[in-house]
């Protein structure tokens, strides 16, 4: 299997440290061969382990057992962990662009993106809402055709609406949006997780899923009709469920992914259960892309205390998803 490409993220954040710690845990965690794309100096600033610069992704496997492979594509300038800079933002941008290109050209088997600062990137000409939209554009996929899934060992969630004020959610939560997110999730579970017959559960928007219209009618007017349509098309989907009860251990055994109406409805349970091993996966791309489900944590950078669990999980999930994707492309069936 070709190595996994990891973009450095903001060099002043915890990305370099958790990437290095993931390499240290490569054998204990049974991780695939990977290499970091960016500036080796950013890793050296927070880690005194072995780093070997490579000039071709194919060379990563030769050095992976002895050192962390690094494909140098940028200069982060003076690196001060915890203190972001414009040079660092440019490095993060160039790292992301190069790593995406390597995955797109199949020089790398998958893409893992370390966290970036959107505010810093915006100052160096990055015009996308986030890394997800950038990767989608570079892959020739429209934003409306990609889906963000957050996944941990016991829960997968998909927010139907994402970064918007809560007051705007009821108007944005349309039947067509729910349907497109649900179908994309079904495809993703089949192709990237090897689940032959995915089971979905849809959360209600209002407390108690509207309580029969007493606490809101979005469930009756928007959600229930589209769920009935999806079921008529063969999708195994239940709901709308009261969100306060659908994330218990017993309830989670009944579905493979939960569709949630808004950002926090999805992110609170996944982070409560899997803060240290949650993964952000983008569905709908021609490549596999994952990311640890945490930010740059500038306040923690350089302390040596950053936990690598989410990065380790992102690397492992990228490897597994690529194997499932490859099997799907060869047979048209889940592995």
- Give the three-state DSSP class for 246: coil
Quote the tokens at residue 59: 């060379």
| Residues 271-305 pLDDT 10s | 999 999 999 999 999 999 999 988 899 999 999 99
- Give the three-state DSSP class for 52: strand
Spatial distance between the Cα atoms of 207 and 214, rounded to a whole number of angstroms: 10
Quote the tokens at residue 193: 């997780």
Name residue 156's beta-bridge partners. Answer: 151
- Hey, CA dihedral for 211, 212, 213, 217, is it positive or negative? positive
* 329 C-beta neighbours (distance < 10 Å), count: 9
Stated pTM of the model: 0.93
| Residues 302-329 pLDDT 10s | 999 999 999 999 999 999 999 999 999 8
Mean pLDDT of 30-58: 97
- In the DSSP assignment, the letter for residue 45 is T
Mean pLDDT of 2-15: 96
- CA quadruple 246, 247, 250, 252: dihedral, nearest 10: 90
């Amino acid at each position: 299997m070709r190595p996994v490409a990891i973009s450095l993220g903001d060099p002043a954040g915890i990305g370099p440290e958790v990437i290095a710690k993931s390499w240290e845990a490569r054998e204990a965690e049974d991780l695939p061969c990977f290499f970091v794309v960016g500036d080796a100096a950013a890793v050296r600033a927070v880690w005194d382990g072995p780093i070997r610069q490579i000039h071709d992704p194919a060379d990563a496997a030769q050095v992976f057992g002895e050192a962390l492979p690094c494909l140098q594509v940028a200069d982060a300038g003076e690196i001060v962990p915890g203190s972001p800079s414009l040079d660092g933002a440019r490095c993060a941008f160039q790292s992301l662009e190069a790593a995406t290109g390597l995955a797109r050209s199949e020089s790398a088997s998958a893409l893992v993106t370390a966290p970036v600062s959107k505010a810093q990137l915006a100052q160096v000409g990055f015009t996308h809402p986030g890394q997800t939209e950038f990767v989608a554009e570079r892959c020739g996929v429209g934003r409306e055709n990609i889906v963000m899934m957050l996944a941990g060992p016991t829960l997968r969630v998909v927010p139907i609406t994402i970064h918007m004020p809560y007051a705007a959610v009821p108007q944005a939560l349309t039947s067509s949006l729910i349907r497109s997110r649900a179908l994309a999730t079904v495809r993703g579970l089949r192709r990237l997780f090897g689940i032959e017959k995915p089971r979905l559960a849809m959360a209600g928007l209002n407390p108690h899923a509207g309580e029969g219209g007493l606490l809101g009618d979005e469930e009756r007017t928007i959600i229930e009709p589209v769920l009935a349509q999806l079921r008529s098309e063969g999708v195994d989907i239940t709901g709308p469920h009261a969100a306060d009860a659908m994330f218990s251990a017993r309830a989670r055994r009944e579905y493979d992914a939960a569709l949630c109406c808004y950002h926090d409805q999805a992110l609170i349970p996944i982070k409560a259960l899997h803060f240290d091993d949650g993964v952000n996966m983008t569905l709908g791309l021609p490549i596999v892309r994952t990311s640890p489900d945490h930010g740059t944590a500038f306040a923690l950078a350089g302390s040596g205390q950053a936990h690598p669990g989410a990065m380790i999980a992102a690397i492992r999930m990228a490897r597994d998803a690529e194997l499932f994707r490859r099997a799907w492309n060869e047979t048209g069936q889940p592995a």
